[in-house]
Amino acid sequence: MLPRSLYVHVPFCVRRCAYCDFAVEAMRDAPTADWLRAIAKEWDLTAREMGWAGPLSLDTVYVGGGTPSLLDAGAMSALAETVRRHATWHPASVEWTCEANPESFSAEIARDWKAAGINRISLGAQSFDERVLRWMGRLHGAEGPGRAVATAREAGFDNVSIDLIFGVPGRLERDWEADLERTLALAPEHVSLYGLTAEIATPLGRWVRDGRETLADEDRYADEYLLAHRRLTDAGYEHYEVSNFGLPGRRSRHNFAYWTGVPYAALGPGSHAYYPPVRRWNARGWHEYEEALRDSRSPVDGEERISVEDAALERVWLALRTDLGFPVAEATPVQLDLARLWEGAGWAQTAEDRVRLTAEGWLLLDRLALDFAAAGEARHELTGFASRPAPD
C-alpha cells in the first residue's frame, strides 16, 4: 500500500515557547531557499529508496512546524512544484493544511497560500489571555488569533482550525471558559486541544523540576477537558478524536491517516514517516538535517519495525482514540465484558456495533487501551477491572 498522505516539517520559529519540545530552531528570518532545497533533495532520495514506480496519489498534505508562516511568500507554490515530482493530487479533493502563527500570518502570506492551493489553515492560538500568552512565550497578543482568522477569511479560506492549550498552572488564573467562548465567537470549522505537559528538555520542564512552577492538577486538567467537550459539542462540533473537534464534514482528514494505521510519507527535520511495518524518523536538528542532504545522505536517524504484538496494541489504541471505536464483531468475550464495565463507569458506550470511549474515557485513554489490548489476548475471565478507581 502506498502513502496517500504527506507531512512536511518547517523547523523555524522566531523563539521557542516555554513548553515546546518540537524540532525547531529559533531564528528571526527563516532560510526559505535552503529549506526548499533540502526538502526537494529528501523527496528525491525517498522516492528512489522506496522504488515508487510512478507518482503517488495524495489525498492530504500537511505542512506543520515550527512556523510555516515564517517562510517567504512563494514557498508553498515552490513546495507544491517539488512534491509534484513524485506525487499528484486533485486540487478539488486534496486537503492541504498549513499551520500558521498569528503574528506572522500576514495578508500577503494568506493570499500567497491560497493561490498555491492550500485550503485549510491550522492556527496556533493557544489562548486569548495576555498573561497566559506571555507566560507561554507566545509572540502574539490576545487579539492575534481574531486578526489571523479575519485575514484567512479575507483571503478566501473556509476551513480554519484553532489550536488551544489547556491545563496551564492554576496560579495564572486563566479563565478557560472565556477562552472557549472567544474561540467559538471566531466560528472556526475545527478546534484542537492540547493538554499542557512539561517535557524535561523545555524551559517549562526545568521550572517544574526545580519547583518553580506547578502544572494544573489532575482535577483541574479533567475539568477543563470536560468543559471543552460540553461547550464545543453544545455548539455543534463533533468530538471525533481525543483532542479534536470538527463541525460536520470538517474533520481533519490528514490526521485520520495517523489514526487508522495507513502509510504516510514525511519530509523535514524530526518528521516521522510510516512505511508499514517500518516507522522511521529524521534527524531533529535543522543543521544536521540540511548537512546530510547537502552531502546527498539520507537524513533518517532511526527506525523501528512494528511487531505483530505492537501492531495489535496500536490498532486498539488508535481505534479507541477516535469515535470510530473498536468493532464489536472483532472483540473477544473478555473485551466485551470489559467494555460493559467501562459503560458502568461512564467511560465507554457501545452502539452501532462499536465500542467507543466517552470524553471521560478519553481522559484515561492510555490505560484503557492497554487493558483492552490485554483483554484481547486473555483466555480467562478478568477480575481486576471492576475495582479500578474512577478518575480523580
Shortest distance in whole angstroms from residue 211 CB to ligand SF4: 24
Give the residue with the Cβ less far from ligand SF4, 124 or 263.
Answer: 124
Least CB distance from residue 73 to ligand SF4, whole Å? 20
The three-class DSSP label of residue 100 is strand
**E-state strands within 101-217:** 120-126, 160-166, 190-195
Nearer to ligand SF4, 45 or 204 (CB): 204
Looking at the Cβ atoms of 66 and 299, the one nearer to ligand SF4 is: 66
List, in sequence order, every beta strand (DSSP E) within the chain: 5-10, 12-13, 25-26, 56-57, 60-65, 87-88, 95-100, 120-126, 160-166, 190-195, 238-241, 244-246, 265-267, 272-275, 278-282, 300-305, 326-327, 348-351, 354-357
* Closest distance to ligand SF4 from the beta carbon of 17 (Å): 3
Minimum distance, C-beta of residue 66 to ligand SF4, in the bound complex (Å): 5
Phi, psi of 295 (to 5 degrees): -90, 10
Comparison of 191 and 319: residue with beta carbon closer to ligand SF4: 191
Q: Smaller CB distance to ligand SF4: residue 124 or 376?
A: 124
Q: Name the one residue in this structure whose C-alpha cell is 484553532.
A: 162
Q: At what angle do helices 365-377 and 308-321 cross, to 10 degrees?
A: 130
Identify the helix (H) or strand (E) that includes residue 275.
Answer: strand 272-275
Instruction: List contacts with ligand SF4 (CB under 6 A).
Output: 13, 16-17, 20, 22, 24, 65-67, 101, 124
Q: Which three cell numbers stand for residue 330?
A: 472483532
Q: Report yes or no: 385 and 338 within 8 Å, Cβ to Cβ.
A: yes
Cβ proximity to ligand SF4: between 13 and 148 the closer is 13
Q: How far is the CB of 163 from ligand SF4 (least distance, A)?
A: 9
Rounded CA separation 225/172 (Å): 17
272-275 β-sheet, strand order: 272-275, 278-282, 300-305
Minimum Å gap between C-beta 180 and ligand SF4 is 20
The distance of Cα 352 from the centroid of its chain, to the nearest Å, equals 27
What's CA 63's distance to the chain center, in Å? Answer: 11
Residue number, 30 or 45, with CB nearest to ligand SF4: 30
Provide the minimum distance between the beta carbon of 281 and ligand SF4 in the complex, in angstroms, as a whole number: 17
